[in-house]
Structure 1
């Protein structure tokens, strides 16, 4: 059984765009995305359990790159729904304090349970030497002193570490979301625009296209003479276009090894601009 990541991400983006265009409340949008992603994950799980994987490489790719993207967004949207349906007010100091406290809690949990782990460093370093241990079914090493969550997952559809990647992705999306909810006047260094004020501004190309553009601007020192880091630069674009970018580090490394042109979007931009210029001749 072969599941293509680009197709999965395209389906998710399509549903996000469809719901966003309906201008519904954030809580309602998050709820509908939760249902959509849960149904998608259940459908894929049924196929995996029925047909399995063609080879080891396909299995590793699924649990390292594909499932975490779906589960990560599912966790994210479910948390957004819970956050929005328990928010005490719609504006004012209490509203701001609510999101600021949530952000502090998120940062604390991130430091305690994610970034200090050996696996986090393995994942961030884009290593592959332990992929066979981390991303194959039935390979869990309990001598590593794993957290009790390992006993709560379905081991027929999880290697435990795919869940950990999903939580990394969800936390990064939540971090961006929290920043968009905090008052920009009191947080000028972390947010550009209020999330509700620019709903009509959206990125309508692929996620990889935006990441390619961000890295090009970063590599060319075109913004603030290159003094802005890639993470902050990505955050600016995420806030501006209301588009979560998941893990841009891994997306960039996949671009470096993809077949054909490694700068497909930039090539397309050049061609589009030249065609537009030719119209005026």
Structure 2
């Protein structure tokens, strides 16, 4: 198989595709097509000219086929991630990424024995894992790329998924870190903003937000909203309920701060 693609050739081609298609969705689709085309060429070549011996067959399925196949699985994962990631709400995105991380970890746990075999560079089961003689024991139950019995072994796809999922796991952790860093930055920015209205005004706002069901569709306790503002603005909410009782006993307006908010906003809108 003289036309085998080298690692450097594949890296260069993938980089060129990513630079050509700035839209990630389109780039991933093109990379997936590129990898599939390579695998299809390999498959046709094997039909025409079979391997000269068992060692050549093992080398192909254990090493040479892994380059396009691992990239195919990896970029398929990235494509799926991009299209399934929730578009709104960082908390929903965090939950989605954590579920993906759990799925990948479950896969590693399920394939732990084979993973250790590869990590320790063993070769005593190579004929079983990487020749078509034993491909009746196909063990991979996730993706189904190229299940042609003349172009697959029992573990060549499992190995590609181990390789791809290792990269995908690092990608997921970076995405999660990015969201967490963004959340921390937002909190730090908020802490730079000093609340200069009265404590009573802030408590008005907290109760109003709770009654409006402004957070989590109303599925949140009043104390959780109060704790959020306490963490950001370092105010003591110990006597919040007593202050709320005092607000209810006001003679002129029980919602003085909120009334002023509405009046000032309306005035601003009339000016623009």
**TM-score interval (norm. to shorter):** 0.5 to 0.7
- Aligned CA RMSD, in angstroms, stands at 2.7
Q: Secondary structure at the match of 2:133?
A: coil
Tell me, yes or no, if structure 1 residue 138 matches structure 2 residue 136.
no
When the two structures are superposed, what TM-score results if normalisation uses the length of structure 2?
Answer: 0.58
1:156 corresponds to: 150
Tell me, yes or no, if structure 1 residue 125 matches structure 2 residue 125.
no
What is the correspondence of 1:119-268 to structure 2 with a 5 Å cutoff? 119-140=114-135, 147=139, 149=141, 153-184=147-178, 186=180
Kept in 1: contact 2:139–2:158 (CA 8 A): no
The structure with more helix, counted as a fraction of residues: 2
What is the correspondence of 1:68-79 to structure 2 with a 5 Å cutoff? 68-79=66-77
Kept in 1: contact 2:90–2:179 (CA 8 A): no
Structure 1: segments with no counterpart, 5+ residues = 189-281
Structure 2: segments with no counterpart, 5+ residues = 183-272
Change (3 A) 1:74 1:25: same
Q: Distance in 1 between matches of 2:120 and 2:82?
A: 34
* Deviation of 1:75 (Å): 1.1
When the two structures are superposed, what TM-score results if normalisation uses the length of structure 1?
Answer: 0.56
Kept in 1: contact 2:85–2:93 (CA 8 A): yes
Q: Distance in 1 between matches of 2:15 and 2:136?
A: 41
Whose RCO is larger (CA < 8 A, sep 6+)? 1
Q: Distance in 2 between matches of 1:87 and 1:31?
A: 17
* Bigger Rg, structure 1 or 2: 2
Kept in 2: contact 1:3–1:62 (CA 8 A): no
Q: How many residues align?
A: 179
2:64 corresponds to: 66
Tell me, yes or no, if structure 1 residue 24 matches structure 2 residue 22.
yes
Kept in 1: contact 2:17–2:27 (CA 8 A): yes
Deviations 1:35-94 (Å, cap 9, x if unpaired)? 111111111111111111233222110011111222111111112111101222167333
